[in-house]
Structure 1
Amino acid sequence: MLTPAVPEIIEDDDIGLAVDARTESLPGLRELGPPDLVHLVKQSSKAGAKQTGVYHHVTGVDASSSASLAAYVNTLTFNPSDKTHKVVSGLYCCYNAFSHLDMRVEVKIPGSVESYCVDERGDRRVATDGLWLETFLCAVLRAYSYSDDGSGDTIKKIIGVRRFNPVTNTEQEHRFFEAAERLFFSGRQLGSDPEIQIPNAVSNHLTAGLLKYIKTTGRYTSGINLFEKLRTKDVEVSSLLARVLLDGDEEVQAVRLLHDSLQDVPMDYALLDCQASFCQSKGEGEWALELAKQGVTAAPSEFSTWARLAEVYVDMEQWDLALLTLNSCPMFSYQDKDSPRMPEPSRVLLPILPESVLDEIDEGQPRQGEPFDQVHVSLRKLQAATYQGTFLKAYSLLTRIAASIGWDALLKTRSHVFVMEEEYRSERHHSVTPKMPSSKNASTIALSGTPNGHPKASNGEGSDEDAGSEDDSPVDDEKTLAEGVSTASGVNGDGDENPIIKTDRSMEKPVPTIAAEEVKSGNEDAEAHHSEYPKFQNKRLCERWLDNLFMVLYEDLRIYTIWRTEMGQYRQQQMQYKKSAAEWEILGDLAERLHHTNEALEAYQQCLNIRFSPKAMRGIMRMYEKKGDTRSTLACLIRLITWQYRWYSEFSPELFYSIRKLIEDEGAVKVRSIVQSTNLPQHVLDLTHEYCQLCVTFHSSGTDG
């Protein structure tokens, strides 16, 4: 494939500061480590000229030996855009997350190659073959884990990162799988995704990387062979094997495997979750429900089991139980991927290859020194856009409920299952000895499937007492929208489809619930009898984080409603509704977050009319993929691939997966023909053809012809 250009972050005065900063950061690394660092020392061709330090980051380079890393450094010695300097030495740093060592290869040009490793204290150690095997595997996992999904978000986080495909043929795949097999049961040392609290043999960065690779490339047979061998050593690997079988359309074999494995380990939550997910996909809600409950019982401290149970309740439209389950989810602080912390550089050079130039991408982009887009303060403060990990998953579940039943019905369901602040204070005022309403907890209620102690109470329809308490809780006029705009949910409380804007009433701001800390303060007893608080004897205390999610959702809906109302007014008056490109991008993301697909598409299109945005293009592509529009999807892919090359990324697993699925559905010949018929420069089309060629190399379905 075409090699991306080489960015240069320049150290004019203190050469080696970047390497020192990397060494100092080693004790703080907790994940797979930062991208590899390549530091070069350049010298002017003129006699007596001083030396300059330049560096960049890279992922996907073969790190199986010191020779392969030295070979990469040698490719940088000739730079056609800089003929006035020569490279006199280079240092390649690659992190080994298994042993917590930084593997380093120092190259003198011309001259010697020296390899060693640096530990967390900064001391040198000998680099052995075993350490190089670990480093090779970490490098492949980092390339997949730290890749960009096409939206550009990852690329924009760290400046000057070259991203390569770590596995370009079946021979390299064999080496990758062989290393993974040898180190598989050490994988938990690498940590895990933020949704997993305790890494184990089947839930860690190694297994996540393997599954992502298999799904991206469609190499299901290779994956099945790998996990079959590992399963003979540990039956828990069956959950990974079953997932690969299901992805590879081997459903009968997967179901048999799940059944047999659960006979051996009936309380393996990964197996139960896999089976529950399969039943969900087949519309068997009752079966999925029982499996999800067993999963929670097997792993009550894991977020994923509770999230699965909440998903099942949402699918079954049991909204109150979905909220109770969501309230029981153990939430974890999000830990971002390890990223380099570099000193301020003297200069930064970001060259552009002629092969990645596309006028459509470059036109309208702000030039250096020009002011950034103005973004209204209300759009900048949308907290939901920053969510990651467990909070992102929980918020997406809450938005699903809101999109299904509407904001008003969501608030009504919330007041049925949680103790509201107003009613609690009112009850305390009339009670001689205030006590906590119930000793039951939301976990047991969610598992039993009886939200208010009555088996028939579901879908937000509580007991008469609960209904009475909800009617008594007032909503201040100050808490309604000042603009008088209406609720932005797609459906009303009765479940009937309505237009986006309802002008008959305004959208209520969520009334706060009572905090558990407040109830338990002073001399109050958390284990009191129900009779002290008859109005909410079966209600639960809402967690503060979930209460905050309601406020964040309200703010999302409020801004969305104002936008749609203003748009409607401007159209009625036949006036142009103006926003900056950044604002349209945020509005598109907002609409997509709230499950308003057409409105998101409209906002993203408006953004692209002003200038190219990878995030907007990626959002549009997702919607075309859902509609099965091959030509439009490919048009988006061509532009996204070109933008990725523009910013030194030759490989994005998500974009490769999209092309592979198109080839699987339409055939390689048709896909290539559609790409070639696009009215764009040939050098741009060739970049997409390289992705298609990868599918041929891996013998993907649809490439036989």
Structure 2
Amino acid sequence: MPAPAVPEISEEVIHESIDARTETLVSLRELGPPDLVHLLKQNLRNTGKQTGVYHHVTGVDASSSASLAAYINTLTYKEHGQAPTHKIVEGVYCCYNAFSRFDMRVHVTIPGTVEAFCVDERGEKRKATDDLWLETYLCSVLRAYSYADDGSGDTIRKIMGVRRFNPVTNTETEHRFLSAAETLFFRGWQLGSDSVVQVPNNVSNHLTAGLLKYFHTTGRFTSAINLFEKLRTQNVEVSSLLAKVLFMGNEEVQGVRVLHQALKESPMDYVMLDSQAEFLIKKAMTAETPAQKEERLKMALGCADRSTVGAPSEFGTWARLAQVYVALEDWENALTILNSCPMFTYQDKDAPIMPEPKEVYLPTLPETRLDEIDSEPESRFSEQVDQSLLNLRGASYRGTFKLAYNILTEMTAKIGWDQLLKIRSSVFVMEDEYRTDRQEDASQAQPAKRNPSTDGLRGSPEPSTNGDNETEEEEEKKETDNDSTAQTLTNGSGDDTVEKPIHTIDPGEVKADGDTTATTDEHLSRLNNKRLCERWLDSLFMVLYEDLRVYTIWRTQMAQYRAQSMQYKKSAEEWEILGALAERLQRHDEAAEAYRACLAARFSPKALLGILRVFQKQKNTRDTVAALIRLVTWQYRWYSEFSPELLHTIRVLIEEEGAVKVRSIIQATSLPQNVLDLTHHYAALCATFRSSGTDG
């Protein structure tokens, strides 16, 4: 297989990209940005003229300075066009070590010497040792998995010109990876964790997340069991990871035994309790009878409840408890528990912050030529998008807010928007009832003396809620009401309009409003001890309303156009946004419909990935393979030869259908052979790892 093309970003000032990377070292919080490769090119005709170019890369073997120097050496043979006009005279490879917070660098002079060193957060040079290289290698593999694209193209578009390689291509490199992971396992918490984990620990951090993603992708569960069995002898907490890979490998009985035994030693380990609850929820969904389902969910409820006691400040434990209540259809408790979730600010992955480039060269390899894919960038550039679709805040949610929003949309999908509003008003103190009650209190009480100081402290009687501008919202509401289309909106049932939710009372206002704690308590008791809704959850309801409003406009207009036998027109970008909106609201059939409309207009990896999920559910092998071929080709077109999600999809397909059948379907597709070879490469990886269904 040819390596992906080499993008080149030219600098205004030579080495400014390296200087920019050095300056940002102190601010890195996660695994670090992708590796930076800087090249100094010399003009063959004018040797005094030099140009600095760079690109980013993940998945290159970073176990030693020699392997990084070898990568730079491969670039000296990469020339685009007929005759070479430049030659590479120097190269610098920068790879971040997130354990020691050093940037490992290899400086190569061509022809000449190789110098390896590291740079600390202050920009000072230090000696590179073997221990530092081991840490760097492990970080490099974890970055390759963590920063890989899921097939939708969202990750690829975040950073321009990143070459992505598979860091583990055979059992030999797997052994090196797992050996490094075993050596550094109990230092994994130093790497930090996903944004949904408040405090990283031995089993919840970027290292364990990367290991689980690797095993999930490749299906190498025997290697996983061996690794975690060894580590479990050192710390019982590792039992939760062992149980997870046993569940992945369909060794459910053994996984339950592992958790049962481990919880005897550590009865309040929240990760193990959460693993039990997650397993029981899944088993409840496949129960044969309602009685079995209820029994399993009640057991899950006990585990989830104990896990919140074990880790009251973790989002995951409370979210799991809310999921159990949703599965039990106990909507009031589900909403109450969701309101109790501790929310964390989303910390995005470290990304390179580079100066404005002088020039950008993004070449295309002949092997990735496919007309429908090549025309995508030009089509995207010319499309018009309705502003109301661009402003949907639900699409921007990440981390804990995204997961909480998913729980809220799941409730809406099951019981409907109107019913959700009724439950909300029965659980939380609403703004209108609070003000009415306060006015009654004021009319019964003696009028208080006013002075400028107290008036200033109390502020305006109508403070904005959730940081939203109420005036703007009211203006938008009036505009919506004046829209004849919006007046006929339905929530999908054809009966009721999508009602805009009124705000709950701001908890901060309740505290400021009462003269004493006793007065506030007495006042709240008259509201049947309703709870105060957190501002973030109140905001989620407003965002959900906006999503539903736009969704119902779309569905109503579609129905009207069909009734009149007219074509409903949207740009491909708008169809893509509508598909994502429907998916967010868990309306999967409508999402597939929008994605198909998008693909009819132009190629879109995000839309095709959405359709791929439908094909997988339907067990439609031929269409699944056809979608995979195009997604793999698009990834390769943008310098990524490795996507864990696409590799996992092909592996599962081979397990179900057999490698011979899958290879035959790929080959039978009427696409150029060079394009088919890219997908054959993914299938060959499964054979290398001896996945189930492969030959031998």
The alignment's TM-score, normalised by the length of structure 1, stands at 0.90
Residue 183 of structure 2: SS of its match in structure 1? helix
How do 1:54-453 residues align onto structure 2 when only pairs under 5 Å count? 54-81=53-80, 83-283=84-284, 284-363=296-375, 365-366=377-378, 371-432=381-442
Please give the root-mean-square deviation of Cα atoms over the aligned residues, in Å: 1.8
The one-letter code matched in structure 2 to 1:77 is T
Q: 2:41 is matched with which residue?
A: 42
CA contact (8 A) 1:276 1:289 kept: yes
**Distance verdict in 2 for CA 1:248–1:199, change over 3 Å:** same
**Once the two structures are superposed, what CA deviation does each residue of 1:544-579 show, in whole Å capped at 9, x if it has no partner?**
100000000000000000011111111122222111
530-539 or 597-606: bigger deviation: 530-539
CA contact (8 A) 1:479 1:508 kept: no
Cα offset, 1:49, TM superposition: 4.1
**Higher helix fraction: Structure 1 or Structure 2?**
2
State how far apart, in whole Å, the 2-side matches of 1:315 and 1:198 are. Answer: 28
Q: Structure 2: which 5+ runs fail to align?
A: 285-295, 446-475
**Once the two structures are superposed, what CA deviation does each residue of 1:259-288 show, in whole Å capped at 9, x if it has no partner?**
110000000000000011111111111100
CA contact (8 A) 1:279 1:285 kept: yes
1:514 aligns with 2:533: no
**Distance verdict in 2 for CA 1:366–1:501, change over 3 Å:** farther
Residue 704 of structure 1: SS of its match in structure 2? coil
State how far apart, in whole Å, the 2-side matches of 1:527 and 1:590 are. Answer: 46
Cα offset, 1:47, TM superposition: 3.9
The one-letter code matched in structure 1 to 2:334 is A
**Once the two structures are superposed, what CA deviation does each residue of 1:126-175 show, in whole Å capped at 9, x if it has no partner?**
00000000000000000000000000000000000000000000000000
CA contact (8 A) 1:402 1:410 kept: yes
Cα offset, 1:529, TM superposition: 7.7
The one-letter code matched in structure 1 to 2:67 is S
Q: 1:638 is matched with which residue?
A: 629
Q: 1:667 aligned to 644, 658, 668, which one? A: 658
Deviating above 3 A after TM superposition, structure 1's stretches of 4 or more consecutive aligned residues are: 432-435, 476-489, 522-535
State how far apart, in whole Å, the 1-side matches of 2:85 and 2:195 are. Answer: 47
CA contact (8 A) 1:427 1:533 kept: no
The one-letter code matched in structure 1 to 2:633 is T
The one-letter code matched in structure 2 to 1:89 is E
Residue 571 of structure 1: SS of its match in structure 2? helix
**Once the two structures are superposed, what CA deviation does each residue of 1:16-38 show, in whole Å capped at 9, x if it has no partner?**
00000000000000000000000
Q: 1:28 is matched with which residue?
A: 27
The one-letter code matched in structure 1 to 2:146 is S
State how far apart, in whole Å, the 1-side matches of 2:518 and 2:606 are. Answer: 51
**Once the two structures are superposed, what CA deviation does each residue of 1:671-691 show, in whole Å capped at 9, x if it has no partner?**
111111111111111100000
Cα offset, 1:507, TM superposition: 1.7
Aligned-pair identity (%): 64
CA contact (8 A) 1:195 1:332 kept: yes
CA contact (8 A) 1:8 1:160 kept: yes
Residue 149 of structure 1: SS of its match in structure 2? coil
CA contact (8 A) 1:486 1:507 kept: no
**Distance verdict in 2 for CA 1:178–1:374, change over 3 Å:** same
State how far apart, in whole Å, the 2-side matches of 1:128 and 1:625 are. Answer: 47
1:565 aligns with 2:565: no
**Distance verdict in 2 for CA 1:364–1:533, change over 3 Å:** closer
State how far apart, in whole Å, the 1-side matches of 2:551 and 2:526 are. Answer: 36
Cα offset, 1:508, TM superposition: 0.9
Q: 2:606 aligned to 603, 615, 631, which one? A: 615
CA contact (8 A) 1:485 1:561 kept: no
Residue 89 of structure 1: SS of its match in structure 2? strand
**Once the two structures are superposed, what CA deviation does each residue of 1:66-97 show, in whole Å capped at 9, x if it has no partner?**
00000000000012315111000100000000
Cα offset, 1:112, TM superposition: 0.5
CA contact (8 A) 2:490 2:497 kept: no
State how far apart, in whole Å, the 2-side matches of 1:269 and 1:160 are. Answer: 41
The one-letter code matched in structure 1 to 2:139 is C
Cα offset, 1:480, TM superposition: 7.9
**Distance verdict in 2 for CA 1:535–1:351, change over 3 Å:** same
Q: 2:457 is matched with which residue?
A: none
Cα offset, 1:3, TM superposition: 0.7
Residue 17 of structure 2: SS of its match in structure 1? helix
The one-letter code matched in structure 2 to 1:268 is D
Cα offset, 1:532, TM superposition: 3.9
**Distance verdict in 2 for CA 1:541–1:90, change over 3 Å:** same
How do 1:522-533 residues align onto structure 2 when only pairs under 5 Å count? 522-526=513-517, 532-533=523-524
CA contact (8 A) 2:647 2:682 kept: yes
Q: 1:19 is matched with which residue?
A: 18
CA contact (8 A) 1:364 1:610 kept: no
Cα offset, 1:531, TM superposition: 5.3
Residue 100 of structure 2: SS of its match in structure 1? coil
Cα offset, 1:48, TM superposition: 3.6
State how far apart, in whole Å, the 1-side matches of 2:487 and 2:661 are. Answer: 49
Q: 1:628 is matched with which residue?
A: 619
**Distance verdict in 2 for CA 1:520–1:365, change over 3 Å:** same
State how far apart, in whole Å, the 2-side matches of 1:434 and 1:254 are. Answer: 64
Residue 574 of structure 1: SS of its match in structure 2? coil
Q: 1:687 is matched with which residue?
A: 678
**Distance verdict in 2 for CA 1:365–1:91, change over 3 Å:** closer
1:651 aligns with 2:661: no
**Distance verdict in 2 for CA 1:104–1:527, change over 3 Å:** farther
1:678 aligns with 2:669: yes
Cα offset, 1:479, TM superposition: 10
CA contact (8 A) 2:490 2:496 kept: no
State how far apart, in whole Å, the 1-side matches of 2:420 and 2:207 are. Answer: 39
**Distance verdict in 2 for CA 1:586–1:477, change over 3 Å:** closer
Cα offset, 1:54, TM superposition: 0.6
CA contact (8 A) 2:490 2:556 kept: no
**Distance verdict in 2 for CA 1:569–1:267, change over 3 Å:** same
**Once the two structures are superposed, what CA deviation does each residue of 1:357-386 show, in whole Å capped at 9, x if it has no partner?**
11121235417xx95421111001000000
The one-letter code matched in structure 1 to 2:549 is R
State how far apart, in whole Å, the 2-side matches of 1:518 and 1:177 are. Answer: 54
CA contact (8 A) 2:376 2:602 kept: yes
The one-letter code matched in structure 1 to 2:8 is E
**Once the two structures are superposed, what CA deviation does each residue of 1:600-635 show, in whole Å capped at 9, x if it has no partner?**
111111111111011111111112112221111111
State how far apart, in whole Å, the 2-side matches of 1:344 and 1:268 are. Answer: 49
Cα offset, 1:506, TM superposition: 2.1
Residue 568 of structure 1: SS of its match in structure 2? helix
Residue 193 of structure 1: SS of its match in structure 2? coil
Q: Structure 1: which 5+ runs fail to align?
A: 436-475, 490-499
**Distance verdict in 2 for CA 1:477–1:70, change over 3 Å:** closer
State how far apart, in whole Å, the 2-side matches of 1:586 and 1:300 are. Answer: 36
Cα offset, 1:487, TM superposition: 6.0
Q: 1:463 is matched with which residue?
A: none
Q: 1:454 is matched with which residue?
A: none
**Distance verdict in 2 for CA 1:433–1:134, change over 3 Å:** farther
The alignment's TM-score, normalised by the length of structure 2, stands at 0.91
State how far apart, in whole Å, the 2-side matches of 1:148 and 1:696 are. Answer: 22
Residue 88 of structure 1: SS of its match in structure 2? strand
Residue 512 of structure 2: SS of its match in structure 1? coil
